[in-house]
């Protein structure tokens, strides 16, 4: 492990105030949707806040001559849409260097080598490309003698489409760069509320003592989107929602929720505990997919009062690709045995929101009788990732008044927007600067990725044999009715986002 990474992984250097060293950030796929929507606005925001050292540069890889002049204009337009002040846009654009290069042609990397020069700055290479380009780009960087002892590579999800392809990518990259300089990015790990999971749990006795099967009845993890295919039809129909969302985003949320306390807040310690959770996930194989999973695909419907097409109509042909997944899973270890964890994620759903909902076990006996109402609701903890990031705790409270005793559930509500004066940064703002600092805490180890595929692959195989056709659901709904049956068979129900 090189000295920069070694220093960056010390716990005392993890806070945001750690200086960012001078760097060159090279973005492959700079004209793509992710770079324009997320990467450049995140970097511009960091630049606006004075986080980026003055001599640092951003090199945007483009394939077409017209993009050398055209891409900066697109970036400027996007920054304006993001509310970056006009007097801050030009200073950011001056950091940009357009590099004409074909990722698959080794001879064109000479242009990049010349643009980088002999600087000893940290070099980070962001591969915002399809995963089939990860290996050739890394190999061409090595052949062109561009990689230095402080170089890092950032791999965007999805990492492969199954265990075999993920392992092939990991093996190929490992021949070129060590694990300590390989950053597998999942932007959910950069969200403030996701990071706050560890603080909420391990800095508060109230929750750490109740965070187990002794006090928790069940857990729901929901990531709902209202968008459809947008510009991703070619990729998405070959991938589906299991590969696109469950294998990465939901698996990461599950592991951070369920991990044992690491001995310190350090990348290796946190990753080790996350891997243990993935290994403890009970396998779902063969015909079990019919009982413990639900596949869905949206049809025509309404989103925000507007009629929208169904998936097949957007795609232009019939398809069995799933746009919705619900899973009932369990973590077979001492802490979580017997606690069902329900995963739910889909496109074209009724609302856009992501949350973890924890339902605690009810009190064993009510002393209030019928005077307190028909029942005492169990306490619930809602960890909301988006929108309205924050934490809500549902408690039973007495309604004010001197008449008949009446008890109702009410929320203790902590919203980031009202609880803190600081602006909530976008996930990529944190993650990009963490790479440059050399902090891998919020990135995935290859073992995490491969273990997640080890659990997901048998489910996909089971679908092919026992569940080939997804259930239909109307766009603007909460998914197919079978997802309701999945949880109601256990005497439970999905949390209502309107009540949070």
Catalytic residues: 249
CB of 324 closer than 8 Å to CB of 183: no
CB of 382 closer than 8 Å to CB of 500: yes
CA 146 to chain CA centroid, Å, is 30
Distances (CA, A) of 240 to 77, 110, 243, 297, 323: 31, 38, 6, 10, 6
Give the integer Cα–Cα distance in Å for 439 and 175: 21
Give the integer Cα–Cα distance in Å for 189 and 158: 14
CA angle 58, 61, 66 (to 5 degrees): 115
CB of 394 closer than 8 Å to CB of 382: yes
CA-atom Rg of the chain in angstroms? 24
Q: What is the b/e burial string over 242-265, where b = at least 16 CB atoms within 10 angstroms of the residue's CB?
A: bbbbbbbbbbbbbbbbbbeebeee
State the residue for tokens 């890889």. 61
Structure tokens at 152: 């890092």
Max CA separation in the chain (angstroms)? 84
Provide CB contacts within 8 A for 257, sequence distance 6+. 197, 219, 221, 356
């Amino acid at each position: 492990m090189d000295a920069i990474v070694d220093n960056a992984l010390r716990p005392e250097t993890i806070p945001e105030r750690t200086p960012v060293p001078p760097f060159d950030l090279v973005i492959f796929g700079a004209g793509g949707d992710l770079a324009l929507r997320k990467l450049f606005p995140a970097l511009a925001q960091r630049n606006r806040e004075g986080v980026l050292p003055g001599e640092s540069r951003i090199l945007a890889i483009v394939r077409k001559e017209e993009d050398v002049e055209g891409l900066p204009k697109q970036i400027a337009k996007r920054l304006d849409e993001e509310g970056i002040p006009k007097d801050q846009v030009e200073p950011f654009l001056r950091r940009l260097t357009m590099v004409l290069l074909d990722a698959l042609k080794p001879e064109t990397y000479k242009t990049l080598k010349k643009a980088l020069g002999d600087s000893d700055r940290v070099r980070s290479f962001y591969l915002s490309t399809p995963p089939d380009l990860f290996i050739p780009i890394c190999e061409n960087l090595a052949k062109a003698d561009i990689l230095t002892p402080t170089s890092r590579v950032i791999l965007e999800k999805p990492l492969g489409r199954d265990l075999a392809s993920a392992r092939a990518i990991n093996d190929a990259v490992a021949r070129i760069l060590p694990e300590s300089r390989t950053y597998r990015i999942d932007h959910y790990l950069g969200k403030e509320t996701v990071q706050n999971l560890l603080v909420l749990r391990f800095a508060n006795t109230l929750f750490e003592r109740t965070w187990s099967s002794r006090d928790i009845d069940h857990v729901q993890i929901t990531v709902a989107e209202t968008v459809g295919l947008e510009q991703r039809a070619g990729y998405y129909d070959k991938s589906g929602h299991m590969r696109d969302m469950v294998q990465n985003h939901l698996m990461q949320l599950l592991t951070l929720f369920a991990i044992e306390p690491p001995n310190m807040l350090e990348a290796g310690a946190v990753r080790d505990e996350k891997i243990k959770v993935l290994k403890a996930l009970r396998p779902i194989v063969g015909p079990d997919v019919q009982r413990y999973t639900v596949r869905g695909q949206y049809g025509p419907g309404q989103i925000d009062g507007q009629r929208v097409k169904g998936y097949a109509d957007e795609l232009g042909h019939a398809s069995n690709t799933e746009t919705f997944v619900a899973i009932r899973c369990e973590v077979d270890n001492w802490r979580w045995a017997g606690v069902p964890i329900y995963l739910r994620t889909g496109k074209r759903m009724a609302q856009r929101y992501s949350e973890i909902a924890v339902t605690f076990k009810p009190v064993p006996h009510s002393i209030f009788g019928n005077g307190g109402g028909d029942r005492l609701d169990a306490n619930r903890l809602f960890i909301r990732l988006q929108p309205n990031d924050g934490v809500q705790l549902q408690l039973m409270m007495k309604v004010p008044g001197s008449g008949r005793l009446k008890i109702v559930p009410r929320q203790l509500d902590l919203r980031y927007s009202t609880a803190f004066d600081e602006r909530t940064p976008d996930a990529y703002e944190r993650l990009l600067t963490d790479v440059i600092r050399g902090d891998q805490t919020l990135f995935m180890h290859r073992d995490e990725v491969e273990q997640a595929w080890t659990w997901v692959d048998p489910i996909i195989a089971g679908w092919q044999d026992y569940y080939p056709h997804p259930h239909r659901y109307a766009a603007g709904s909460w998914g197919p009715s079978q997802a309701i049956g999945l949880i109601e068979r256990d005497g439970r129900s999905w949390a209502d986002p309107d009540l949070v």
